[in-house]
Homo-oligomer: A and B are copies of this chain.
Amino acid sequence: MDILNYIAESFSNITFLKVIDFIGTFAFAISGIRLASAKRFDWFGAYVVGAATAIGGGTLRDVMLDVPVFWMHDGIYLFCTGLALVWVIMFRRHLVHMHNTFFVFDAVGLALFTIVGIQKTLDCNLPIWVAIVMGTMTGAAGGVIRDVLINEEPLIFRKEIYAMACVVGGVVFGICDWFGTPVEVTMLLCGTAVFLTRVLAVKYQICLPTLRAEDEEKG
C-alpha cells in the first residue's frame, strides 16, 4: 500500500487539488461556452452559461446544505470561467482538435467535484446516501443547468454514462468509508472510480437502458 499511500498523500496535497480544481472548472466552463456559441449567444450569455456549467452544481449543493456558497469566497472560479471564454474566442477554430484533451480534463473535473461534494456533505453530519446524491449533483447538475439555459433536453439524461459515474464513485466512497479506509485513500479510490467509469463508458459506448414510450411495441 506504500505507493497507494504516496499517491493518496499527493492527492490530499492542497496545491495539487487546486490545480485539478482549476482544470476541472476550466473544462466545465469550456463545455458550456461551446454549446452557447452553437446557439449564437453573445459573450455575456456564453460567460453565464459557462459559469453555470462550472459552478452551478456546487452552488445547488451549498444552497441545499445551507453552507456558504463556495465561489463567493474564492474568486478563482469566476476568473477561470473568464479565462475559458477568452480561450474559446481566441482558439475557437482549433477547439475541435483538442477534443480528447478536454474530454480527459472534464472527466478529471467530474471526479474531483464528486469527491468535494461527498466530503462537504459528510462534514454536515448527513448520512452517506445523501452524500452520494450531493456528490452526483456537484458533478452533474451544472450540465443540466447548462442544457436548461440553452433550451435543450439535458444531454446527461439521454446519452452516455455521465452522472452514473459519480454514483459509482460515491458507492466506492461509501464502501471504503464503511471499512474504515483512511480518508485520503478513500478519496483517491472514489475519484479513480468516477474517472474510469466515465472513460470506459465512452470508449466502449456503454449506455444505460432507455425507457421506451408507452405506445411502442404494440404493433
User: Among A1-9, A101-109, A145-153, A170-178, which stretch is in contact with chain B?
Assistant: A145-153
B164–A44 CB distance below 8 A: yes
B45–A156 CB distance below 8 A: yes
Assuming the contacts A48-B157, A63-B63, A64-B59, asked whether A208 and B42 have C-beta atoms less than 8 A apart, the reply is yes
Mask, A125-166, CB within 8 Å of B = 1, is 011011001000000000010001111111011110001100
Residue A18 interfacial (CB < 8 Å) = no
User: In the complex, what residues of B have CB within 8 A of residue A157's CB?
Assistant: 36, 39, 41-42, 44-46, 48-49, 149
How many residues on A have C-beta within 8 angstroms of the other chain's C-beta atoms?
59
A72–B38 CB distance below 8 A: no
Residue A219 interfacial (CB < 8 Å) = no
**Listed A/B pairs (22) with beta-carbon separation below 8 Å:** A39-B153, A40-B210, A40-B211, A41-B153, A41-B157, A42-B158, A42-B159, A42-B210, A44-B156, A44-B163, A44-B167, A44-B208, A45-B157, A46-B211, A48-B144, A64-B72, A66-B68, A78-B129, A144-B149, A148-B149, A148-B151, A151-B153
